[in-house]
Amino acid sequence: MDTKKMLKQGLLVLALMAGAIALFNFGPIAFADLINPSDQPDVLRSATGGEGSIRSLALRIVNYFLTFLGIVAVMMIIFGGVTYVTAAGKQESIDNAKKIILYAILGIIVILLAFAIVNTVLGAATGGDAIVQ
């Protein structure tokens, strides 16, 4: 089996595992379907795993997805680095690796900007609870 193909399959498995871990963190959110608009904050808090408002719940969900995308971007940088190192002087492989690293870095910048914007806007809307951990 080709080394490049094995590396791609390994990264795919890592990405799937990271996605599964992120989805398991949403266990309490699965009960969000039980929420009625007339529910009291205590009922809402118990149904969503501690979140007292829909805004803070949305903020938590967005932060989980942005974290997952950040992990994928870092894995792509690692993949680009490995591709660069194993290029063995082939200019086509080197250029491909440089593109992968460049686009992954741009992706991290976009993810960080999205994180800042979402936390600022929803944090202001929730009354100052900027970052939800």
CB–CB of 77/105 below 8 Å?
yes
User: According to the model, what pLDDT value does residue 31 have?
Assistant: 46
Residue ranges per structural domain of the chain: 3-125
Which among 72, 91, 94, 70 has a CA at the least distance from the CA of 82? 94
Q: What is the pLDDT of residues 107-128, one digit of tens each?
A: 999 999 988 888 787 767 656 5
CB–CB of 52/44 below 8 Å?
yes
Report the distance separating Cα 75 and Cα 15, nearest Å: 8
CB–CB of 27/51 below 8 Å?
no
Q: What is the pLDDT of residues 43-65, one digit of tens each?
A: 656 655 665 667 777 777 888 88
